[in-house]
């Protein structure tokens, strides 16, 4: 099954460049293009892509608001931010809005494709520059937050450590010698107890509280 992708970017040349490259990959299919966040929402609900490559700076509705609304309407659709901004003021709001990945337009095309494939396998993908900014932000704010790690069982903590390493459910199961179904249950409990939306936020929380 091909990975269906919707591209949301207000720059025509950027969209066409992405379409041209992504369509050369046998397992990827670009199902639509949007020039702003509002179009992205409409197309996402009608085309049902697996992943939306979302630019942040767009007219009508920006990428962060579009991501937030999309995750409300269709939480099963993954959002990967693809932008030129790697600073905290853009990264943090995007992840809080529900994005599962954050890549920069300066990235090598092959790295972007690899990140898309990993995202489909349940591995949240953050560009190294983005991770650096996030860790700096989280380190500064860690003392202000309640530590919900204490609410986790020992096994849930073990699973959280593996999530922080970027492992998929299948890899976690193999590492801890438990079934993939059991891993999914643990992941669901972890997200609920930590009060986070997805694996990316859980991984960041783990790093913030020294669990990685």
Q: What are the pLDDT digits (tens) for 174-185?
A: 999 999 999 999
| Angle at 108 (CA atoms; ends 114, 48), nearest 5 degrees | 45
Residue in the block written with tokens 């720059």 = 11
Q: What are the pLDDT digits (tens) for 102-112?
A: 999 988 899 99
Query: What Rg do the C-alpha atoms of the chain give, in angstroms?
Result: 17
0.85 exceeded by the pTM?
no
As given in the structure block, the two tokens for residue 156 are 């849930």
pLDDT tens for the chain, residues 1 to 212: 899 999 999 999 999 999 999 999 999 999 999 999 999 999 999 999 999 999 999 999 999 999 999 999 999 999 999 999 888 788 888 988 999 889 999 888 999 999 999 899 887 767 776 766 665 655 455 444 556 888 899 999 999 999 998 899 999 999 999 999 999 999 999 998 888 889 988 988 888 787 76
- How distant, in Å, are the alpha carbons of 103, 110, 162, 208 from that of 81? 6, 16, 24, 22
pLDDT at 107: 86
- How distant, in Å, are the alpha carbons of 66, 148, 173, 185 from that of 22? 22, 40, 31, 34
The domains found in the chain, sorted by start residue, are 3-142 (3.40.50.2300), 148-209 (1.10.10.10)
Q: Which helix (H) or strand (E) holds 74?
A: none
Angle between helices 199-208 and 88-97 (to 10 degrees): 130
Quote the distance between the C-alpha of residue 78 and its chain's center.
Answer: 7
Question: Measured between alpha carbons, how far is 169 from 172 in angstroms, rounded to an integer?
Answer: 5
């Amino acid at each position: 099954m091909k990975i269906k992708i919707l591209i949301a970017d207000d720059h025509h040349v950027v969209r066409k460049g992405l379409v041209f490259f992504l369509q050369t990959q046998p397992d990827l299919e670009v199902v639509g293009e949007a020039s702003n966040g509002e179009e992205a929402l409409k197309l996402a609900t009608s085309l049902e892509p697996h992943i939306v490559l979302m630019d942040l700076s767009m007219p009508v509705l920006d990428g962060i608001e579009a991501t937030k609304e999309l995750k409300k309407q269709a939480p099963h659709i993954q959002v990967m931010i693809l932008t030129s901004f790697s600073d905290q003021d853009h990264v943090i709001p995007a992840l809080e809005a529900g994005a599962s990945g954050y890549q920069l337009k300066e990235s090598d095309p092959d790295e972007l494709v690899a990140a898309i494939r990993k995202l489909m396998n349940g591995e949240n993908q953050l560009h190294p520059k983005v991770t650096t900014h996030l860790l700096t932000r989280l380190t500064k704010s860690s003392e202000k937050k309640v530590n919900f790690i204490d609410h986790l069982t020992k096994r849930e903590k073990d699973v959280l450590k593996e999530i922080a390493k970027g492992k998929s459910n299948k890899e976690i199961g193999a590492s801890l010698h438990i079934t993939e179904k059991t891993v999914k249950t643990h992941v669901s409990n972890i997200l609920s107890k930590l009060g986070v939306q997805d694996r990316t936020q859980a991984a960041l929380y783990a790093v913030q509280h020294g669990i990685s």
